[in-house]
Chain A
Amino acid sequence: QEVTLRLADSLPVGHYMTTGVADPLMAKTKEMTGDKVAFEHFPAEQLGKAKDMLSLVQSGVADIAYVGASYSADKLPLSSVGELPEAFSNSCEGTKAFWSVAKPGGALDVAEYQPEGVRALAVLVLSPYQLFVHGDLAGIGDVNGMKVRVTGAPKIAAIQKLGGVPVNVPGPEAREALSRGTVDAIAFPIASIKPYDLAPHIKTATKGLNFGSFVATWMISQAKYDSLPEDVQKALTEAGEAATLNGCEATDASTEEDFKFVAEQGVTFVDLPAADLDTLQGVMSSVGDEWAADLDGRGKPGTDILNAFRAGLKSE
């Protein structure tokens, strides 16, 4: 073995993002280079917290790191484009569109990653967040006045536009907050319902809507990448692209199972009236427009990136 790479993340051991993206990325790189590359994996915040990951990969403490767009939104504000409540309903639609702007040479890479000296090897956009409600949800009007546990600016804005009251509750206290009525609802990816054991405290939930999502990227610093032998560079790039596809497909496959599991636990998934869906679409696209305008105002190409992402979604 000639090259040892440290891969760091903040995810619990065996998390589905690791098995879906990081593990295949490492395995395929090793396979393609004939075991020339060895990986040391540091999961579970062993090298730093989620918001430290970008800095850790820039300084070389980690060679590859899992960077959540919302954790590093101060340095990578444009990456949140994939977390907007845009027109996609599963992980692969979002992931492929995001990859088209985030991959080396893409609009986001040029605008944001290259100036920060990093390069995306793989990305994953989760299945869009749904609304999980402690009580009844008949129409979108019911969100009005509801206390909703939600994190991240675009998602908070979406809930506020629907008249909901955004409440910030730490992850480990989410179950507590929902079961005791500190919040009435929670905007969450379906995949998190089971590990947080939330289903017993949910009566109704949405399906197929988009209240925003979560963008994960696996970054390497450009300097580290440039220092690697050419065949290793090639292996990492190809393995990353394959892992990106693998990750979203695995996520979509398990999303179906997760919906089934949650439904079996007694949660009713409601079909909203057609009029509600129209309202929702209007509200949600205005969230994206305002996000872009706000970034434009701060001298960052928000509208350009949003348009590129929307074009990516259309071409899928």
Chain B
Amino acid sequence: MTVTVALIVLVAMLVFGLPVALAMAVSGATGLYMFGGWPILQGILKTSPLSTANDYEIITIPMFLLMAEFVIISGVANDLFRAATVWVGRLRGGVAMATALAGAGFGAISGSSTAAAATLASTSIPAMLKEGYEPKLACGVVAISGTLAMLIPPSIALILYGIIADIPIGALLIGGIIPGIIVTFTIILTIAFLVWRDPSVAPVGKSYTIREKFASLNRVGLVLILFFAVTGTIYSGIATPTEASGIGAFCAMLIAAWERKLSLTNLLRALRSAAQTTCMVLFIILGAHIFGYFFTLTRVTNDITTWVGGLDASHGMILAVILLGYLILGFFMDQIAILILTVPVVLPLILDMGYDPVWFGVLVVVTAEVGMVTPPLGMNVFVVARYTRRPLGELFRGVAPHVWAHLIVIALLAAFPAITLWLPSTMR
């Protein structure tokens, strides 16, 4: 009964367009009040807001967002995309494939999927539309390519999973590399399939000489600097993964200044924008905490896991049920909220079945990626819509083929843990 009321409040507030964070906080608080009255509710309200913010490790979120802001200001994102276009050359759908490559490249320096989608949307969509790409295809590839940033290290999602699950973040980040490459090629293959099926959706690209190809790389040096600032400092031990995000932001700021693009106005706008996005993310996490404590106190999460754990089914079946649950949650919920809500309850079950937590983390993040581009709550699609002003329905349809391709990748990663675990195992 209590749970039903809380869920009704949640759904009603979401449908009427109230902020997701408020919807979760109010519905969770309603449930807590019905469960234990004011004493219990005030107990939760006294602790969860401050402890959402009193956390050193959470700085990866604002730092990577700030870094993305500086990268856009500096023009490096544009250069990266242009170089990829030149190298892919005259293939039909080449610019779309270049978008996937640029997404992977930007993923290697940024940990935030929405930041990556924003960067790609502002650089590659105008270029594709100018060349006569079908808008649906152009926007779809941008929305899905943005998700590469949360798989290819560094990744906020993987770092957050590591913090929640209390497992080494280094192994997780390394574990994301090969799946990230696989997803990149899956996106490219999906584009190839789409243009083969209907060549009218994308034109053939321009061809470039070898000289032009190498000339396009001269600006990629700046991206390499950022790559070493973030990923390099982690591997060399100069800094921890958490600190590397701050170093990345600082170096991106220096690059923007070096390129003479960093005016005081630009700097303030970047800081404010990153602060706002951080605030949005943390507010949703806070709402998810309040809602999550309500679910925990009423033993709902416990009952669900007990139910799943008690299923008379093979481990593979249980894993499939869990992943299906993540897909369904991804339709409606923010990925970070999903991680915080579910990992503490699901992970013990996974460990019980003898699965590897690093492998599961990567699997969960790939599955969560799908949620970034599925309706009704698909953060990356929203970001693309904000930059392009295209109708949401068209964007969701445009990204659909990539969702199907993604499901195949998930099945592959689930069936063959070695794909994920081989690279971390060489690090010992």
Contact = CB atoms under 8 A, between A and B. Distances in A.
Is the pairing of A and B real? yes
Contacts, number: 96
A61 B239 CA distance: 39
A175 B170 contact: yes
A59 B297 contact: no
A12 B166 contact: yes
Contacts of A168: 56
B348 A13 contact: yes
Given A48-B48, A172-B169, A61 B344 contact: no
Chain B interface size, under 10 / 10 to 19 / 20 to 34 / 35 or more:
35 or more
Interface string B26-63: 00000000001001101110111001001011000000
Among B40, B47, B299, which residue has the most Cβ atoms of chain A within 10 A?
B47
Given A45-B344, A51-B51, A175-B170, A61 B237 contact: no
A13 B165 CA distance: 11
A168 B240 CA distance: 10
A294 B47 CA distance: 28
- Majority secondary structure of chain B interface residues (helix, strand, loop or mixed): helix
Interface in A12-61: 12-13, 40, 42, 44-49, 51-52, 55-56, 58-61
Interface stretch (A113-121, A176-184, A225-233): A176-184
B51 A47 contact: no
Given A172-B166, A172-B167, A176-B169, A60 B43 contact: yes
B47 A42 contact: no
A82 B297 CA distance: 32
Interface string B157-186: 000001100111110000000000000000
B240 A177 contact: yes
Given A12-B166, A44-B344, A176-B168, A55 B299 contact: no
A171 B238 CA distance: 17
A176 B240 CA distance: 7
A45 B44 CA distance: 13
A180 B237 contact: yes
A170 interface: yes
Contacts of A60: 36, 39-40, 43
B296 interface: yes
Nearest to B168: A175
Counting chain A residues whose Cβ lies within 8 A of the other chain, the interface size class is 35 or more
A180 B236 contact: yes
B192 to A, nearest CB: 39
Contact of A55 (B47, B169, B296, B348): B47
B371 interface: no
A170 B168 contact: no
B169 A182 contact: no
A196 B170 CA distance: 13
B428 interface: yes
A170 B242 contact: yes
B240 A171 contact: no
Nearest to A51: B51
B340 to A, nearest CB: 10
Contact of A52 (B42, B47, B237, B239): B47
A172 B170 CA distance: 9
Interface string B222-257: 000000000000111111111000000000000000
B293 interface: yes
Contact of B40 (A61, A172, A176, A200): A61
B428 A56 contact: no
Interface in B64-80: none
B47 A56 contact: yes
A169 interface: yes
Contacts of A177: 237, 240
Interface in B289-309: 293, 296-297, 299, 301
Nearest to A57: B43
Nearest to B351: A13
Nearest to A40: B299
A45 B55 CA distance: 14
Contact of B51 (A13, A49, A59, A171): A49
Interface in A153-176: 168-173, 175-176
16 contacts: A12-B166, A13-B348, A40-B299, A46-B296, A46-B301, A48-B44, A49-B47, A51-B51, A60-B36, A172-B57, A172-B162, A177-B237, A180-B234, A181-B237, A182-B237, A196-B168
